[in-house]
Chain A
Amino acid sequence: MDFTLTESQSLLRDAATRLVADHGDAPDIWQRMAALGLLGIGIDEAHGGTGGGFHDHAVVLEALGGGLVRSVYIPTVVVGAHLISTAGTDAQQAVLLPKIVAGEMTVAVANAESASFEPCERIGTQADRIAGGYRLSGVKPVVMGADTADVIIVSARTGGGPGGREGLSLFLVATDTAGMVRHGYPIVDGNGAADIAMDGVALGAETLLGTEGEAASLIDLATDRTAAALCCDAVGAMAALNALTLEHLKTRVQFGRPIGKFQILQHRMVDMTIAEEMARSMAVYGADEADGDERVARGKAVSAAKSKIGDCARTVGQGSIQLHGGIGMTDDYAAGDYFKRLTAFEMLAGNSEDHLERYAFLGTA
């Protein structure tokens, strides 16, 4: 048992941290990430990737969160590429994965269908068989990265009925496919998302990802990987925000001394620091389990992490604005950007309450 980073993970962390510090808000950050090889993590070397597991993603994600980088790393690399690698045909992998590695293609993953966090059983988007393929109809709200994605992995029913795990399938839908309607917008942290609507979108049979009707476990996998990845990003944001707040406590002078000399502020800062460490502990746990194949064990671990870290994020985010005082309310100061990042984190891929409920459900199932 060893929680320290391997040598290659340390190098990865240093490279990612440096990139983020130097070019985190550059318009070409995605190309720079590709040039560093970050978009090939977890992808087989045969397709130009560098391999590696979720802990490698975790290192990159923490740097991205710490630098407030806006990117589609999670839907494209952590989830999209993984689904393609896991379930894709040789041809799909050969075409799509090298483009992802090169930064030439981004992917979104569209599963949820309501404003509530629901299991895949609730998916109702229809995929009807037609000659040579399928016809998709349905709506998917707030799909992360779908505003700019080239391909959206869409879940739909090829069989079974609402409430069942059978009959779910995944499709690789190019966003320029006729009939695919997207309404894009920024979410609270500045990352992009889109609502997508499909009204009889005709797809070729080759767009099916994985075995028809057997995508439920892949959808669960996507949910867990998304949540686990968000947790790592949030830990990076919390660490950076705590550092910012601590610096403020040491430099802001009121009543003739730095405000960090006041015990009530010290204790709140300590609580925020403990929250960061508890969050980091759970993020490691979630990341470790996110590569697992056992649905219940993985789901429980990831939901435990998302639920706990959501609470920690609230402690750190709200606390930081309070300890900053008035300056914390201004929109051009970084504390607010981190607070928004953490606020988005809480809501993305199921909030703390959702995951607490899911944990309890999986635990008693």
Chain B
Amino acid sequence: MDLSIPQELTDFAAEVRAFIRAELPDDLREKVIGRRFDILSADEKRFWQRKMVAKGWGAPAWPVAYGGTDWDVLKRHTFNEVVADEGAPMPVPFGQGMLAPILIEFGSEEQRQHFLPRILNLEYFFCQGFSEPGSGSDLASLKTKAMRDGDDWVVSGQKMWTSYAHQANMMFCLVRTDPEAERPQQGISMLLIPMDDPGITVRPVITLDGEHHTNEVFLDDVRIPGANLVGEVNKGWTYAKALLGYERTEVARIGLSKRLIKMVKEAAAKRTVNGVPLTETPAFRRKLASLEIELKAVEMLNLRMLSNVRRNLPGNEANMLKIKGSELQQDLTELMMEAQGTDALRFDRDAALDQNIDLFGDVDYRGDVTANYLATRVVTIFSGSNEIQHNILAKELLDL
């Protein structure tokens, strides 16, 4: 039992922080902080990803042979925390965090040689073609079908909630290749699909925050070469499940919540109620203290998991961390909204980006906090809704 953080890790965190502060342009930082990752253009995401690649930090979780690092889970956790805390863009998750580990574990050597370097520098910007209009939590019921035609596959169907399909140039896609399979999970394959195919139509889905993060994607006789099949045919479900195990130590987004709580404090410090600073009113102070404690509890659970992973001990903390980490993000964006009082009514997202537009003096509010509150409702829904996480824990951990 030794909870101390090694000096080497503290030094490393300082190094990452210094690098980001020196290299990250203010406008990019402000966009990330204001609207989280989502408002950055594909070019801005590439710009930052390539800076990180040049530094050797482009894909910390990958093996060194493919451009990754030899950092252990604790060092990667520290890195991610600083990146989030500093408002630097997180890597686009789909290619780097999801597809790449699948290719490394299940792909062909040719696929690894071709795709990994291009995923690393974001030449290939992948989106994830999993959900469909009729297949959300019950993903295995998906209907998009792929038919053999010579060496090619011909794909038709519709994908839904395809985040950043409008920025992506590739999609890794689950398709039904055997409608007759005994269990629906056994008839699914994974294909890598270029988004510039004329058979693909991307339509925006505007979310509650008024932003364009996500899309529906229509596939109409899209022809894909056989070489773009990942692993074996009808094994796609296995790969999709393996994906759940990648980077599972990072699901709680501790760094993001640390940044959010700092923002809440900053906002609250600027407001007074009846002449009393908001931070000194009992109700607000208790809410803030309560969430700070919750953050500490989630962080300690996360650190316990890292300690277990380092010792190769099994555990189900990832499902718990998904639930508690996402609830915490929601609570913090809610408190952020409260901290701004009626200023939070200003649904004026550009105010966060242009500090000079306020006619009444310095802008001392953020125009994006309500948008963020709305947008953050998604975190308990995506990546396996929190109810699905409960089901998984009931089955796998409690054997119910």
Contacts and interface: CB of A to CB of B under 8 A. Distances in A.
B293 A356 contact: yes
B400 A277 contact: no
B297 A308 contact: yes
Contacts of B285: 360, 364
A4 B5 contact: no
A3 B289 contact: no
A1 B2 contact: yes
B128 to A, nearest CB: 27
B3 A1 contact: yes
A103 B6 CA distance: 40
Interface string B251-295: 000000000000000000000000000011000011011101110
A289 to B, nearest CB: 9
B304 interface: yes
Contact of A5 (B1, B3, B391): B1
A274 B320 contact: yes
Nearest to A266: B394
Nearest to A2: B2
B45 interface: no
Interface string B363-400: 00000000000000000000000010011011001111
Interface string A270-296: 110110011011101100100000000
A357 B286 CA distance: 7
B135 interface: no
A18 interface: no
A307 B311 CA distance: 30
A281 B297 contact: yes
Contacts of B301: 277-278, 281
Nearest to A278: B297
B373 to A, nearest CB: 23
Given A284-B1, A360-B285, A266 B297 contact: no
B390 A266 contact: yes
A359 B324 CA distance: 21
B4 to A, nearest CB: 7
A116 interface: no
B227 interface: no
A329 B288 CA distance: 37
Contacts of A277: 301, 317, 320
Nearest to B6: A1
- Is the interface on chain B under 10, 10 to 19, 20 to 34, or 35 or more residues? 35 or more
A274 B1 contact: no
B207 interface: no
A1 B72 CA distance: 12
A2 B1 contact: yes
Given A1-B4, A5-B1, A55-B1, A282 B307 contact: no
B296 interface: yes
A180 interface: no
A3 B1 contact: yes
B394 A285 contact: no
B300 A285 contact: yes
A263 B1 CA distance: 37
Chain A CB within 10 Å, residue with most, of B2, B293, B323: B293
Contacts of B304: 3, 280-281, 284
Contact of B1 (A6, A271, A304, A356): A6
A46 B158 CA distance: 76
Contact of A4 (B1, B292, B387): B1
A1 B303 contact: yes
Nearest to A287: B1
A285 B307 CA distance: 14
A246 interface: yes
Given A3-B1, A288-B3, A363 B390 contact: no
Interface in A16-75: 55
B308 interface: yes
B74 interface: yes
B305 to A, nearest CB: 9
A36 B107 CA distance: 57
Contacts of B6: 1
Contacts of B391: 263, 266-267
Interface residues of A, number: 38
Contacts of B308: 3-4
Interface in A218-277: 246, 249-250, 260-261, 263, 266-267, 269-271, 273-274, 277
B290 A4 contact: no
Given A249-B400, A266-B390, A304 B5 contact: no
Contact of B393 (A3, A261, A273, A357): A273
A207 interface: no
A343 interface: no
A9 interface: yes
Interface in A294-326: 304, 307-308
Interface string B302-317: 0110111011010001
Nearest to B320: A274
A267 B297 contact: no
A280 B298 CA distance: 11
Contact of A363 (B292, B300, B317): B292
A264 B142 CA distance: 27
Nearest to A284: B300
Contacts of B279: 364
Given A1-B5, A6-B1, A281-B301, A267 B288 contact: no
A250 B400 contact: yes
Interface in B138-155: none
A5 B394 CA distance: 27
Given A2-B2, A3-B308, A4-B311, A281 B398 contact: no
29 contacts: A1-B74, A2-B2, A3-B304, A3-B307, A4-B308, A246-B400, A260-B398, A260-B400, A266-B390, A267-B387, A269-B398, A269-B400, A270-B394, A270-B398, A273-B398, A277-B301, A277-B320, A281-B300, A282-B296, A285-B300, A356-B290, A356-B293, A357-B286, A357-B289, A359-B292, A360-B286, A363-B289, A363-B292, A364-B279
Interface of B: 1-6, 74, 279-280, 285-286, 288-290, 292-294, 296-298, 300-301, 303-304, 306-308, 310-311, 313, 317, 320, 323-324, 387, 390-391, 393-394, 397-400
Interface of A: 1-6, 9, 55, 246, 249-250, 260-261, 263, 266-267, 269-271, 273-274, 277-278, 280-282, 284-285, 288, 304, 307-308, 356-357, 359-360, 363-364
Given A263-B394, A271-B390, A285-B296, 15 more contacts: A1-B306, A2-B1, A3-B303, A3-B308, A4-B307, A5-B1, A9-B1, A261-B400, A263-B391, A266-B398, A269-B400, A270-B397, A274-B393, A277-B317, A364-B280
